[in-house]
Amino acid sequence: MKKQILFLLVFITGTISAFAQHKLDYPFQNPALSVSARVNDLVSRLTLEEKVNQMLNSTPAIDRLGIPPYDWWNESLHGVARTKYPTTSYPQAIGMAATFDVNAMKEMGDFTSDEGRAIHNESLRKKDYSRYTGLTYWTPNINIFRDPRWGRGQETYGEDPFLTASIGTAFVEGLQGNDPKYLKAAACAKHYAIHSGPESSRHTFDVNVSNHDLWDTYLPAFKQLVVNAKVAGVMCAYNAYQGQPCCGNDKLMVDILRNQWHFKGYVTSDCGAIDDFYQTHKMFPDAESSSADAVLHGTDVECGDHTYKTLIQALKDGKLTEKDIDVSLKRLFTIRFRLGLFDPVSMVKYAKIPITNLESQPHKDLALKMARESIVLLRNKPYGDEKNNVLPLSKNIGRIAVLGPNADNANTQLGNYNGHPSVVTTVLQGIKSKLKNADIFYSKATDFVSDEPQDFSKLIDSIKDADVIIYVGGISPRLEGEEMKVSKPGFSGGDRTSIALPTVQTDFLKALKATGKPVVFVMMTGSAVAIPWEEENVPAIINAWYGGEAAGTAVADILFGNYSPSGRLPVTFYKSDSDLPPFEDYSMKNRTYRYFKGEALYPFGFGLSYATFNYSDLKLTKTKIKKNESVDADVTVTNRGKVASDEVVQLYLTHLAGGADVPLYSLKGFKRINLAPGASEKVKFTITPDMMKLVNSDGKSVLNSGDIRISIAGSLPSQRSRELGSAKAVDAILTVQ
């Protein structure tokens, strides 16, 4: 060990000495100095015009100082996106949340920044400084998916603050790396804050949520990523909050982000958000006043190319000072120095990652693993007089019909904010790989939506001899997404006007049922879909999200029993539109599993398996505690089934005193385990005082005296979960004195 340390010191000293032998024109070029000293020196040498140009997302070179161009805008939502190189594509964010697998998520972040570094390194070699070659990724999207109609909900980690914070933290830690000096890449928590549609009014709406909802729902994930995960960047949202645009908001940007959370990183606007200050929010008369206000509130980068250019005139007019601009410049260059962008390649281990790292086998293996883990089995019943459930299917099937608009649709699988892998395996291709000798009939069968009644008789006649029918439908990222020019039944502008499965698909499934053949419905979606008829009438239903490059293989593995399904819903699947409050209402009343008082079609955390799990022997180390004490809860989980399977063990707290602002349930822990048939494992959770706190009407977290029900299960511990086949939860009462 001592020899290793000595070698490392010699290597570092030698590297710095070798670098020092080259003429250093300026102190900021000297890697032996601290980052702050280098940043201060660099910023002091810039002209006002140079400073302002460095505050746009696409920064020009400063040739006289040897500063190359840099574009802050890059994306890596579920793999490096929008690049000219082929990259590994993991499941869409909502699908990765459905894995409830923080270890896989951290590894995904690590692999993604490997590929991002490889592209950046190759781009530098070619002197390519174009967009999507930098190391500042505007990811993750940790907004709360409060309403399933929001088209961008697919980019989030679901409706729960704890799950969102946990998955988001794992991603940030993986992406940014663990080097004590250098960031591997820079993550960015977005969109800060209280931003989840509608897309049509995102540039104009002014949210005024209660302090309770702000701190109970909308801010916890941001706080976790800023305070604990040390995320490098934050993106402020388009909308306004309490009368001020988010990027120029006293409470959000100054009081909370900088003063309470002590955020030291950089803030970028969403693209065009500073324009909105005067163009749509009408808060200021012109670009000059808007840009000054945004900078004074701590927005360091404008994603745009013109509004911040008026900062030169704003300074001349006394609306801010050059010192105010310097504050932003220092934050921005600190990130670039921490990324090692001004140091010799020999000093930055990440700068050596080669382009051959793209789509390496471990990355592709993880994409398949996460696709498998994301798939949620919603229903699995016997068909007709059969004793066994429809799934898994036999590989000895003679004739199978594979139908639907997503059966052979690589475009849907890749979601949005996506990369373009060399190979995408569709469901049809995945099934063909399993059934080498079967007669496979394929037809797109239906569009996603239709304005006209459809005649399915000819197609139905073509599949009358099929042993089993697989319909791969759902919706598409070409229908739901960011501010889209889409207007079709059930969809408008990227959002959904109805959460119901499009009528043409339900009608087709009814026709398939009438054939008398067993039907499997594989649904791809980025959000919750209401399928009450299907739940009653289709024996097997799988939710596959937008599963990335390996989705087809993963679905086939589930269908034919190569993998036991283990995904869990990160959102509530409601029964109908009537369950939802108005889309524009940001109050959490009757929203998400935490406050919804109705009966869900499929509850949060729900997902079936090919195994059968039993929960027993819940024990608390104490049943009465003081407010400053923690307590351990352990439970025995047993696989009573015939196949090995993963299980997602979930911990929920319920404060029995209740109250209008008290959640019905709160997820406070989860662990993914694997059990062989007949095997048991004792799973332990530590419940801390912070986990037991409630947010009061003032937005303060307080721990009240009283009884708390501790529930551990494989789903939300509700009656509906048990009706659908989840194992019964085990409960215990903890008294806080």
pLDDT along the chain (737 residues), means of 10: 42 43 84 98 98 98 97 98 98 98 98 98 97 98 98 98 98 97 98 97 96 98 98 98 98 98 98 98 97 98 96 98 98 98 97 98 98 98 92 96 98 98 98 96 97 93 96 98 96 98 98 97 98 98 98 98 98 98 98 98 98 98 97 98 98 94 97 98 98 97 97 97 96 98
Residue with tokens 């080669």: 354
User: What is the per-residue pLDDT across 681-719, written as a single tens digit (0 to 9) for each?
Assistant: 999 999 999 999 999 999 999 999 999 999 999 999 999
Domains of the chain (ranges; CATH) run: 25-353 (3.20.20.300), 363-571 (3.40.50.1700), 613-736 (2.60.40.10)
Residue 286: C-alpha distances to residues 246, 328, 467 (Å): 17, 21, 67
How far, in Å, CA of 471 to CA of 412, rounded?
15
Residue with tokens 């099929």: 466
Residue 71 contacts residue 133 (beta carbons within 8 Å): yes
Burial string for 426-454 (b: 16+ CB within 10 Å, else e) reads: bbbbbbbebbeebeebbeebbebbbeeee
Whether 483 is a known active-site residue: answer: no
Percent above pLDDT 70 for the chain: 97
Q: Look at residue 75 in the predicted model and tell me its pLDDT.
A: 98
- Which of 199, 480, 549, 557 is flagged as catalytic? 480
Residue with tokens 């036991």: 564
- Which of 114, 213, 270, 343 is flagged as catalytic? 270
How far, in Å, CA of 366 to CA of 732, rounded?
37
Whether 480 is a known active-site residue: answer: yes
Q: For residue 154, what are the contacts with CB-CB under 8 A and spacing of at least 6?
A: 92, 93, 94, 415, 416, 477, 480, 481, 526, 527, 545, 546
How far, in Å, CA of 159 to CA of 220, rounded?
12
Q: Look at residue 7 in the predicted model and tell me its pLDDT.
A: 40
User: How is residue 112 written in tokens?
Assistant: 């993604």
User: How is residue 659 written in tokens?
Assistant: 């109250």
How far, in Å, CA of 617 to CA of 395, rounded?
39
What is the sign of the dihedral through the CA atoms of 653, 659, 662 and 665? positive
What type of residue is 396? N
Percent above pLDDT 90 for the chain: 95
Residue 561 contacts residue 368 (beta carbons within 8 Å): no
User: Model pTM?
Assistant: 0.96
User: How is residue 670 written in tokens?
Assistant: 């989860």
How far, in Å, CA of 695 to CA of 270, rounded?
29
